[in-house]
Amino acid sequence: MSVSKTSPENRRGENQEGRKGAGRLVRPALLVDEVMRSIRDMIVDGRVRPGERLSENALATELGVSTTPVREAIALLRRQGLVTVQPQSGTYVFELQPGELNRLCELRFALEPSAVQLALENPDSSLPDQLDRIVAEMQKAQAEGRVRDYLTLDTDFHDAIIAASGNDYFNSAYALIGAKMAALRNRLGSDPHHMEKSMREHIEIAEAIRARDLGRAVGILVRHIARKEGSYWEHLDPQDPSRLERTPLNTQLFQE
């Protein structure tokens, strides 16, 4: 497990944890954020596996910090659903529970189509340009076989849609599942059938948003979220594979 060391500046921030004054409020917070991002990246990138136990002491040694910011970072990651803490046992990388993937997608149903609608209602929205740029980078990554880069851009695509809503509550709600969805993409993202279909759908969504065709954009987006073809999502969460097909989302609400 290889992780970059914490910078000297932020390590000095850690040493000020016991001091009073502004340093105690600002620098430790920056350190915890950095530690949290490092551990989150390990989980999302698959450097630690589902169900693997995380040692606070080992992480602290790897990152060059004390166990205090590691413990605080783990508390933040627990809120994002990336780790579970079992009393008297330890901290573990999350594993999907039965039906959990469906519930994650149901939240996406509630947020992403509405975010598209809000973005298209804003004549100054830069979402079309952002998605065109991301799609171009995705196509290049796919052509060059850079699977990990492609999956990171996949996450960027959906993050851009949420951000374009201009609604901070949308951002906060999506943050609850964003990192977990990124981790799930990386777990099985090398499936060639899935990637080919995914690429076409991202292109079509971007084209529909560029054309300001809300109904078409939402229709493709909903199918994209709900798609459970082959063994891709079923391998992650086999419970009730038809549930997403029954999700009561009326895309006609988004017709102009």
Give CA torsion, residues 233, 237, 240, 245, to 10 deg: -30
Hey, where are the domains in the chain? Answer: 8-93, 100-254
Residues of the chain with pLDDT under 50: 2-27, 228-232, 241, 244-248, 251, 256
Q: What is the pLDDT of residue 255?
A: 52
Q: Please give the model's pTM, rounded to 2 decimal places.
A: 0.75
Do the Cβ atoms of 188 and 50 come closer than 8 Å?
no
CA distance 11 to 112: 39
Same fold, 8-93 and 100-254: no
Percent of the chain with pLDDT over 70: 76
CA angle 116, 119, 122 (to 5 degrees): 150
Pairing of strands 83-86, 90-93: antiparallel
Alpha helices in the chain (DSSP H): 8-15, 22-44, 56-63, 67-79, 100-120, 127-143, 147-163, 168-188, 192-210, 214-226, 232-236
Contacts of residue 241, defined as CB under 8 A and 6 or more positions apart, other chains included, come to: 228, 233, 234
Q: What is the pLDDT of residue 17?
A: 42
For residues 105-135, b (16+ Cβ closer than 10 Å) or e, as one string?
A: bbebbebbbbbbbbbbeeeebebbebbeebb
Q: What is the pLDDT of residue 185?
A: 84
Q: What is the pLDDT of residue 253?
A: 53
Q: What is the pLDDT of residue 247?
A: 47
- Token couple for 122: 């804003």
Domain 8-93 = CATH 3.40.190.10: no
- 10 Å CB burial of residue 17 (0-12, 13-18, 19+) is middle
SS3 148: helix
Do the Cβ atoms of 254 and 239 come closer than 8 Å?
no
Q: What is the pLDDT of residue 7?
A: 47
Any idea which architecture 100-254 has in CATH?
Up-down Bundle (1.20)
161-178 pLDDT tens trace:
999 999 999 999 999 899
